[in-house]
């Protein structure tokens, strides 16, 4: 009888400890989704910054090419 009572108490303790774990799993899923959105936003921001730097470098190169273009001298 004592063994059955001890087993029932142990089982009830295991079940009561398992319930908060499930509740924490839901919050971790929410936090993972939030972290995923934040990572995607940061990735998009970094990509935008990279593309801006590329456009700037392209404009700078074109300007340098225009300045270094030498037209032939006119001979009359």
Q: What is the pLDDT of residues 8-42, one digit of tens each?
A: 787 777 776 666 555 555 678 889 999 999 999 99
Mean pLDDT of the chain: 84
Domain assignment present for 5: no
* 46: containing domain: 36-61
Q: How far apart are CA 34 and CA 30, in angstroms?
A: 6
52 assigned to some structural domain:
yes
Q: CA–CA distance from 64 to each of 24, 42, 60, 68 (Å)? A: 59, 33, 6, 6
| 56 domain residue, yes or no | yes
What's the start-to-end Cα distance of the chain, in Å? 122
Residue 54 lies in a domain: yes
The number of domains in the chain is: 1
pLDDT: which is higher, 30 or 48: 48
Whether residue 15 lies inside any domain: the answer is: no
């Amino acid at each position: 009888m004592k063994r059955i009572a001890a087993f029932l108490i142990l089982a009830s303790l295991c079940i009561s400890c398992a319930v908060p774990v499930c509740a924490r799993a839901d919050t971790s899923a929410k936090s993972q989704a939030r972290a995923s959105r934040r990572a995607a936003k940061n990735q998009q921001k970094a990509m935008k910054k990279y593309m801006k730097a590329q456009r700037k470098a392209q404009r700078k190169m074109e300007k340098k090419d225009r300045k270094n273009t030498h037209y032939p001298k006119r001979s009359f």
